[in-house]
Amino acid sequence: MEDTELHTVSFKLNGHVQVLQVAPRRSLTHVLDQECGMKSARVGCGQGDCGSCTVSVDGVPIRGCLLFAVQADGADIRTAEALADPAMLAAIRKAFKKHRAIQCGYCTPGFMILAEYILRNALPLDQAVQTLSANLCRCTGYSPIVSAVTELLALRAENGCGP
Amino acid sequence: MIGRSVDRLEDDDLLRANTRFVGSLAFEDMLHMHVVRSPYAHARLKTVIVDKAAMAPGVIAVWVGNDIRDLSPIGFRRVPDRDLLQYRQRLMALEELRYVGEPVAIVLATDPYLAEDAGRLVAIDAEILPPVLDCEPRPDSRSEPLLRGRNEIARIEKGYGDIEAAFAAADHKISISCQIARQTAVPLETRGAIAVPHAHAAGFDLYGAAKVPHANRQELAKILSLDIDSVVLREGHAGGGFGVRGELYPEDVLVAFAALRLGRPVKWIEDRSEHFLAINHSRDQMIHLDAAVSEGGVIAGLHARLATDQGAYLRTHEIKVSDLSCAFLPGPYRIPAYRATATVHLTNKTPCGTYRAPGRFEATFAMERMIDAIAAALALDPVEVRRRNLISAAEMPFERKIEATGKRVVYDSGDYRQTLETAIEAFDLPELRRAAEERRREGECVGIGVAMFVEKTDTALHETVRLELASDGKIEIVTGTSSLGQGMETALTQIAADGLGLPMDAFRLVRGQTDRIAQSGGTFASRTTLMAGSAIHEASRIFRQKLIEVSAALYGVTTGEVTVHGEGCCIDGRSLNLLQLRAALDTAAPDTQLVAEADFSSGAMACPYGVHIAQVKVDPDDLSVMVEKYHIAYEIGRAVNPDLVRAQLLGGAVQGIGGALMEEISFSADGQPLTISFAHYVTPRTVDVPAFDILVLEDWPSPTNPLGLKGAGEGGINAAGAAVAAAVEDAFGATIAPRRLPITPKSLFDLLARTDSAHTRASWPARQGSATEWDSHFRNAADDTSSFCRGINPAR
Amino acid sequence: MYPAPFLYHRPSGLHQALELLSRHKTDGVILAGGQSLVPRMNLRQETPKNVVDLNRIADLSTLAVVDDVLEIGAMVRHQSLCWDAEVSGLSLPSGFAQLLGRMAGAIGNLPIRLRGTIGGSLANASPKAQWALLSLLLDADIVIENAGGARCERYAEFLNRDGRTTLKPGDMITRVKIKVPSAHWRYGFAQLAPQQNRPTSAFALAAVTLQDACVRDCRIAVGACTPVPCRLQALEDWLSGRPASVDGGNDLADVAKAAVRQQAFDLEPYLEHLAAVAITRAVAQALGH
Ligand SMILES: Cc1cc2nc3c(=O)[nH]c(=O)nc-3n(C[C@H](O)[C@H](O)[C@H](O)COP(=O)(O)OP(=O)(O)OC[C@H]3O[C@@H](n4cnc5c(N)ncnc54)[C@H](O)[C@@H]3O)c2cc1C
Ligand code: FES
Ligand code: FES
C-alpha cells in the first residue's frame, strides 16, 4: 500500500492556521519539521521516552512523535519558537540562558514546553521536578534546567501571575 | 575576557530554534537512504535478495555489499599494528554477518518512509552460526570462536620497574577483579548525514559532520578515490557528541557513495533503535589488579590484566581504549613498578569505540577500587592510603615511563596532595562522614565515597586557526574544531577577544567547514579549548600587529600612533571601528587582506586532575541507590570560562552516575541486543540528580601551552563510577564491595545474597576479589591462581 | 522508525466505530491514546492496514458514578484521574479518589498520561500497567462492545494467565465499571523501580477494612514482577483477623513471599524479594503504619 490516501488537515500553529495535505502515517513532529519548517520539532527516539518532540497541543505538552499529524486536525499547536505568552517565552529563554540550562540545545525546545506548562499551572517545585523528568537531556546534568525553572516559579509567585 | 563566566554565544540561536541540526536540513531533489541491517549476531551470508525492494514505489536504487566491493573499509586514524587492519569493518557485509545491526543493504528512495517500506522487502538469506559473546568462548558453550583458535586479536603490554621484586618484597598482596559493563553515550540527537554532490565536478559536501571533520574528509576522499579538496565537510549543530558522534561510520561513506553515484543529494537519519545497534559502544572491560603493598598501605607494585570486549570489528579507534586504560590506570599514584597486559577480543556485538573519558572511566574505577580494598584490608582510612601513594609536587613533571597511544605519559603539573586536602576541607569530608555514620546508626544506609583521578588533554595533533577581517567588519575565527554543545564558540571567542583587546561581538566563529581551513585535529579528548585556544592566542597576537600595520599604512601614520582600542583601533586620536576600517580598506586598498594564521602544537599532554566525593543513600529494601550529594574539585590550570567548566563537570558527572548505577547494554544468549531504546537503556533524569558542589581550581597552570590551559570535558565523568561505588560500599559498612558497574538494585541484591550465604562473612577481611565475578580465562592465565581467591596473601 | 502505511478512520460516534472495526476485522486496529500502539507502529512491530481513531468519540470520555458504580469511559486519559477538578465532582470516598490519583500519577510521565487512556491500557494488558492491578483488586467489570452487541467481563476473566485478554477482532472496550467501595476501605499502593519515574519492576496494591483494630476484609494484589497481576489469597487469609498493628516486618514479608511463590510463576529470587517489599509497603500503608 502506498500513501495514496491524503487527508486535509488544518490546525493552528503558533497562532496561524495551517492547512496541509498529509498521509496518515506522518507524525506530527515530522510534519511540523518538514512541512511547516519548525526546527524545534525534533525526534530523539520516536518511542515516547525522550521528549525531544514535546509540543503543546491544546495547551498541554504531548509527544509529537506519538501523534499522527492527521489527528491534530483542529488543534491549537504551540512550539518552542512561539509559546502562547511572549512574556513568558522571553522569561524562559532568559532563565535558561542564565542558568546554563543549554549545552547542545537539542533537548531545549522540549524542556521549554514543559517549563511553560509548569509555569502556567504554577506547579509546586516537587511536581515541577517530576514533570521535568519526562524529558531527557544528555548534556547538562539537569540541575541547571531545574534551577532555571525554580527561579521562574519564584518569579511567578512574586509577580502573582505569569513572569 | 579570559576567566570570566560570560553568557554563551551559542544560546540565542538554540533558544530560538534557529538551528542547523542535520535532521531539519533539506536540499532540492534529495533522496533518502535506509540501511537494511543484519538481524543475526553471527551468520554466513548467502544472498541478499533485493528485486522486490528495487521495484517498490519511490525507490531509485538498492545496493548490497557486493556492489561496493571495491570500496575499502574505513581506516584507523592511527595504525598501531598493520596486522590489525584485517579486522576493520567493511561498509556493508559481504560473506559474514557479525553483529545485529551490521549494514547489509541500502535503499535509496524519494521519501524516508518509502525507503523504509522498501527496506522491509529486502530478504537476507543466511546460515545462522553460533555467536561469540564473551571475551573467550567457554569450552562448554556452543560458541565457535570468530577466529581460528581464539578471539583474542591483540595484546597490549606496558610497564616499568621491577614488578617481580616488588611482589617478592611486599608485606601483602591484594587482588581485586572489576568489571565495567558495555555502555554508550547516547547523545540526544541521533546521527545523520546528507551528501550533496557537486554540480560540475566529482566531489560532494557532507552535512552532519562533527568531531573530526578534517580526518573524515581525508578518509572519505581516500575510500571514494577523490581529490581531497573535492570533499567538503560541513558541521551545523550537533546534539551532543561524547566521543561517539563524528567518527567516520559506514553510513557516512554510504550516503556519499550514493550521492555521487546518483548525482542527487542523499540524506540519512539514524533512528534510535538503529542508534543502539550501530553507533560505537564502549567500556565493556574486565580489569584484574594485583597489588604488592607494604604494611603501611604503600603500593610497591601493581599488576593489571585487562580484557576488552571490542565487538565485531575494529573501527576508527582500533584498540585505543584498551591502550588508554593501561596507560592511565596508575592514576595519581606513584607506583614504582607496574605491569599491564590488556587483551582485546572480538565478539558478535556492535563494535566499540571511545566514549567520554575512554579507558579512564574504566581504569579509574579499578584503581580506586583497589585503593579502597587496600584500606579495608589493612584497616586504614581510604583517604590516608591515597595520601601515602600520591605523586608529590616535587616530582612534577612526572614521567610515567610508559606510553599512551604512542606518546609518552608525562603528568605536566600539579600538587595532588594539595588538591586532595583542598577538597577535603572545602567539602568538609570529616563532617560528611560523621553525618553519614550518624544516619547509619539510625538505620539508614548512607555512605561517602572518595575517588581521585588524572585526566589527559590530548595534544597529539597540531591545530591551525585563522583570524580574518570579513567584509562585514567582523573578525572571523576560523577553526576546524567542532561544537558539540560544550560552548567552544564562547570559550574560543573569549580567548580571541582577550588576545586582541576587542569586545566579543567583534568576532564571528566559523567552525567545522573543511573548505575554510586547511587543517584541524578536531574535537576530542578535551583538546579544543587548549589546542585551538592556544592557536587563537598566537593568531590574535599576529592579527593585532597586522591590524596596526595596515591601519598605519592606510592613514599614513607610524605604527606607534595606532592602538587597538574600543571597537577597532584608535589612529592618531581618531577612533575607527572594524567596519569603518574594512570600508576604508575596501576603498583605498581593496586587495588588502587582514588575515593571521597560527598553528599550535605541543609535545606534551596536559593533565588536569581532581577529586570526586559522592554521598549515596541506598534503600535497604528495594536496594535502589540515590546519589544525594556530589562534590568535585578539579584542577584545570586556567579556566577560560569557569561556568562552562562547571557545566562540563556537572553534565559529565551526571552521565557518570548513569554509568555507575544504570546504564548497561546487554544481549540475549543468541546475541540479540536487549537494549535498543531508552526504555531499556536507562539514563539519568531530573529526579536522579544530586546536589552539586563544584570547585574549579586554577592553582597549576599547564606549562604545555601559553595560556596554561587544561581540558574540561572529561573530568566530570572520569571518577564518577569509582566515587559512587565507594559510597555504596561505605553505605553497607563495607560488608560488600561493588566492583562491577553499573551497580543496579539487582546486582546489589546478588552481592548481598552472596555475602549473606557465604561462610566468608566470618573470615576477615570481608572484601576480597571474588573469583566468581571474574571470567575464567584470567584464572587460567594467572601465574598464581591461588591469589585470586584470597584477598590477602602474605607474600613472605 | 516510520510506520507502515495505513488508512485512517476517524469515526465521530460509537456505532460508526464499531461498524468500521467489524468491517476491518482482520487488519484493523483501534487507536486510543497511541502511547503504546504508536511506538510499536513506529518500529513496525505492528502494521495495521486500517486505523480507527477513537479520539473524537465524546461518549467514550465520560466519567460518572451511576448507582454506586464508577463508570470510566475507555477514552478517559490517565491524567484526568489525577486532576481534582475531574474527580471531585463524583463524590467518591476520599481514600478511593486519592488512590485513583496516585495510581494514575504513577504512570509514565505527564505527556504520556495526558494522552494515554484507561481503555487502551486495559486492552494493551501490559504486566506493568497500574490499571490492570487496580482492576484486578477491585473486581472491575470491563464493558466490551462490537457490532454484534455488548458484554461485560469481570477483570479476572478478561485477562488470562498467559497475559492475553479475551478481546477479539472487532471488539472495543467502551467502559470500565468499578463498584465504589465504601468509605471504610483504606488503601496502600507501592511501586518499586530501579530509579524513580522508570518502568516499574514491582508494584502492589492493598485494600483493608478494620474492625476493633483488627483487619476484617482484605485484598492484596501484586504485579509488574509477575507476568500478570495476581491476587494473593494466602496472604489475604493470613492477614484477615490480625491486629492492625501487625508488624510490617519479617513475618509479613515471609508470608508475602510464600504467597507469591504459590502463584507458581517461578520468579528469580530478586523479583520475589521485590514483590515482598512492594507488598509489605502497600500493606503497611493501608494499615496506616
Ligand atoms: C514512555 C512511556 C511510559 C509509559 N509508562 C507506563 C506506565 O508506567 N504504566 C502504564 O500502565 N503504562 C505506561 N505506558 C503506556 C501508556 O499508559 C499507554 O497509554 C497505555 O498502555 C495504552 O493506552 P493508549 O490509550 O495509549 O492506547 P493505544 O496505544 O492507543 O492502544 C494500545 C492497544 O490497545 C488497543 N486499544 C486501545 N483502546 C482500546 C479500546 N478501547 N478497546 C479495545 N482495544 C483498545 C489498541 O488497538 C492497541 O492495541 C507508558 C508509555 C510510554 C510511551
Ligand atoms: S522523540 Fe518523541 S519522545 Fe523521543
Ligand atoms: S543540552 Fe544536549 S541534550 Fe540537553
Which residues of chain A make contact with C124, given a CB cutoff of 8 A?
none
Residue-range domains of chain B with CATH: 11-129+190-237+245-278 (3.90.1170.50), 157-184+279-458+605-794 (3.30.365.10), 463-600 (3.30.365.10)
Pocket flag, ligand 1, residue A49 (CB < 6 Å): yes
SS3 B387: helix
In terms of domains, do C213 and C123 share one? Answer: no
Q: Mean pLDDT, chain A, as a whole number?
A: 95
DSSP B698-714: -SS--TTSTT-----SS
DSSP C70-131: EEEETT-BGGGGG-HHHHGGG---HHHHHHHHHHHHTSS-HHHHHH-BHHHHHHHT-TT-HH
Average pLDDT over residues B105-118: 98
Count of other CB atoms within 10 angstroms of residue B86: 10
Predicted pLDDT at B137: 55
Ligand 2 centroid–CA B91 distance in Å is 29
Which residues of chain B make contact with A47, given a CB cutoff of 8 A?
272, 677-679
Nearest to C194 among B117, B744, B750 (CB): B744
- Say which ligand is closest to the CA of C129: 1
Ligand 3 centroid–CA B187 distance in Å is 8
Predicted pLDDT at B740: 97
Whether residue B503 is preceded by a cis peptide bond, meaning omega within 30 degrees of 0, is no
The number of domains in chain C is 3
Q: Which of A47, A56, A114, A136 to mutate to test the pocket of ligand 2 (most atoms within 8 A of CB)?
A: A47
Q: pLDDT tens digits for B442-483?
A: 999 999 999 999 999 988 899 999 999 999 999 999 999 999
Is B761's pLDDT higher than 80? Answer: no
Predicted pLDDT at C250: 67
Pocket flag, ligand 3, residue A141 (CB < 6 Å): no
Q: Which of C60, C107, C191 to mutate to test the pocket of ligand 1 (most atoms within 8 A of CB)?
A: C107
Task: Give the span between the Cα atoms of B624 and B749, in whole angstroms.
Answer: 10
Ligand 2 centroid–CA B272 distance in Å is 10
Residue-range domains of chain A with CATH: 7-81 (3.10.20.30), 83-159 (1.10.150.120)
Average pLDDT over residues A98-119: 98
Which residues of chain A make contact with C1, given a CB cutoff of 8 A?
43, 46
Of B345, B268, B321, residue with least CA distance to B103: B268
- Say which ligand is closest to the CA of A108: 3
Pocket flag, ligand 3, residue A79 (CB < 6 Å): no
Is B19's pLDDT higher than 70? Answer: yes
Test mutation, B5, B13, B15, chain A, max A CBs within 10 A: B15
Nearest to C277 among B116, B622, B744 (CB): B622
SS3 B225: coil
Pocket flag, ligand 2, residue A53 (CB < 6 Å): yes
- Give the minimum alpha-carbon distance from B688 to chain C in angstroms, rounded to a whole number: 7
Q: Determine contact, residues B412/B607, Cβ cutoff 8 Å.
A: yes
Supply the residue whose CA is at minimum distance from atom 4 of ligand 3.
A137
Q: Determine contact, residues B634/B697, Cβ cutoff 8 Å.
A: yes
Pocket flag, ligand 3, residue A103 (CB < 6 Å): yes
Supply the residue whose CA is at minimum distance from atom 37 of ligand 1.
C120
Predicted pLDDT at B763: 32
Identify the domain boundary among C152, C179, C206.
Answer: C179
Distance of CA B551 to the CA centre of its chain: 45
* Within-domain flag for C154: yes
Residue C13: CATH number of its domain: 3.30.43.10
In terms of domains, do C23 and C117 share one? Answer: no
DSSP assignment, residue B83? Answer: G
Test mutation, B277, B618, B621, chain C, max C CBs within 10 A: B621
Q: Determine contact, residues B579/B472, Cβ cutoff 8 Å.
A: yes
Q: With a CB-CB cutoff of 8 Å, which residues 25-64 of chain C face chain A?
A: 31, 34-35, 38-39, 41-43, 49, 51, 53, 55
* Within-domain flag for C279: yes
Is B772's pLDDT higher than 80? Answer: no
Q: pLDDT class for B573, splitting at 50, 70, 90?
A: confident
Q: pLDDT class for A1, splitting at 50, 70, 90?
A: low
DSSP B23-34: GG---TT-EEEE
In terms of domains, do C214 and C236 share one? Answer: yes
Predicted pLDDT at A161: 55
Can you tell me which atom of ligand 3 is nearest the CA of A139?
A: 2
In terms of domains, do C40 and C67 share one? Answer: no
- Structure-derived torsion over alpha carbons of residues B164, B165, B168, B169, reported in degrees to the nearest 10: -150
Identify the domain boundary among C179, C205, C239.
Answer: C179
* Within-domain flag for C1: no
Residue C210: CATH number of its domain: 3.30.390.50
Identify the domain boundary among C131, C163, C179.
Answer: C179
A46 touches chain C (CB under 8 A): yes
B485: left (phi over 0), alpha (psi -120 to 50) or beta: left
Q: Mean pLDDT, chain B, as a whole number?
A: 92
Terminal-residue alpha carbon distance, chain B: 60
Supply the residue whose CA is at minimum distance from atom 3 of ligand 1.
C108
Q: Which of C37, C118, C165, C201 to mutate to test the pocket of ligand 1 (most atoms within 8 A of CB)?
A: C37
- Give the minimum alpha-carbon distance from A113 to chain C in angstroms, rounded to a whole number: 11
Count of other CB atoms within 10 angstroms of residue C58: 12
Of B229, B233, B278, residue with least CA distance to B106: B278
The answer to whether the Cβ–Cβ distance between A103 and B240 falls below 8 Å is yes
B574 touches chain C (CB under 8 A): no
The residue to which cell 566530570 is assigned:
B716
Task: Give the span between the Cα atoms of B436 and B730, in whole angstroms.
Answer: 9
Which residues of chain B make contact with C2, given a CB cutoff of 8 A?
112-113, 116
Of C108, C131, C135, residue with least CA distance to C120: C131
Q: Strands (DSSP E) along chain C, which ranges?
A: 7-9, 28-31, 50-53, 63-66, 69-73, 141-146, 149-154, 172-179, 186-192, 202-211, 214-223, 230-231
Q: With a CB-CB cutoff of 8 Å, which residues 107-136 of chain A face chain B?
A: 107-109, 112, 129-130, 132-133, 136
Average pLDDT over residues B534-539: 97
Q: Determine contact, residues A148/A99, Cβ cutoff 8 Å.
A: yes
In terms of domains, do C210 and C106 share one? Answer: no
Q: pLDDT tens digits for B475-514?
A: 999 999 999 999 999 999 999 999 999 999 999 999 999 9
Q: pLDDT class for B145, splitting at 50, 70, 90?
A: very low
Residue C138: CATH number of its domain: 3.30.465.10
The answer to whether the Cβ–Cβ distance between B272 and C1 falls below 8 Å is yes
Pocket flag, ligand 3, residue B58 (CB < 6 Å): no
In terms of domains, do C160 and C266 share one? Answer: no
Distance of CA B182 to the CA centre of its chain: 14
Tell me phi and psi for residue C281, to 5 degrees. Answer: -65, -45
The answer to whether the Cβ–Cβ distance between B745 and C199 falls below 8 Å is no
Nearest to A139 among B12, B23, B651 (CB): B651
Pocket flag, ligand 1, residue C57 (CB < 6 Å): no
Q: Specify the length of chain C in residues.
A: 289
SS3 B363: helix
Q: pLDDT tens digits for A19-28?
A: 999 999 999 9
Q: pLDDT class for B592, splitting at 50, 70, 90?
A: confident
pTM, entire model = 0.95
B652-B658-B660 Cα angle (round to 5): 100
Per the structure, the complete domain to which residue C49 belongs is given by 7-53
B706-743: burial string, b at 16+ Cβ within 10 Å, e else: ebbbbbbbbbbbbbbbbbbbbbbbbbbebebbbbbbbb
- Give the minimum alpha-carbon distance from C201 to chain B in angstroms, rounded to a whole number: 10
Nearest to A134 among C49, C55, C110 (CB): C110
In terms of domains, do C172 and C62 share one? Answer: yes
Predicted pLDDT at B163: 98
Nearest to A142 among B187, B643, B686 (CB): B686
Supply the residue whose CA is at minimum distance from atom 50 of ligand 1.
C108
Of C275, C269, C137, residue with least CA distance to C201: C275
Can you tell me which atom of ligand 2 is nearest the CA of C111?
A: 3
List B615's β-bridge partners, or say none. Answer: B448, B629
Q: Which residues of chain C have pLDDT under 50?
A: none
Pocket flag, ligand 3, residue B188 (CB < 6 Å): yes
Predicted pLDDT at B572: 83
List B612's β-bridge partners, or say none. Answer: B451, B632
Retrieve residue B532's grid coordinates.
585551538
Predicted pLDDT at B591: 85
Ligand 2 centroid–CA B624 distance in Å is 26
Q: pLDDT tens digits for B649-673?
A: 999 999 999 999 999 999 999 999 9
In terms of domains, do C168 and C233 share one? Answer: no
Q: If you measure CA to CA, which chain C residue comes closest to B658?
A: C195
Distance of CA A2 to the CA centre of its chain: 31
Supply the residue whose CA is at minimum distance from atom 3 of ligand 3.
A137
Pocket flag, ligand 1, residue C143 (CB < 6 Å): no
In terms of domains, do C39 and C112 share one? Answer: no
Pocket flag, ligand 2, residue A45 (CB < 6 Å): yes
Is B284's pLDDT higher than 60? Answer: yes
Test mutation, A2, A9, A49, A63, chain C, max C CBs within 10 A: A63
Predicted pLDDT at B762: 34
In terms of domains, do C239 and C200 share one? Answer: yes
Q: Determine contact, residues C218/C282, Cβ cutoff 8 Å.
A: no
In terms of domains, do C34 and C131 share one? Answer: no
Which residues of chain B make contact with C277, given a CB cutoff of 8 A?
621-622
Whether residue B701 is preceded by a cis peptide bond, meaning omega within 30 degrees of 0, is no
Predicted pLDDT at C249: 59
Q: pLDDT tens digits for B301-353?
A: 999 999 999 999 999 999 999 999 999 999 999 999 999 999 999 999 999 99
In terms of domains, do C149 and C228 share one? Answer: no
Retrieve residue B125's grid coordinates.
538469506
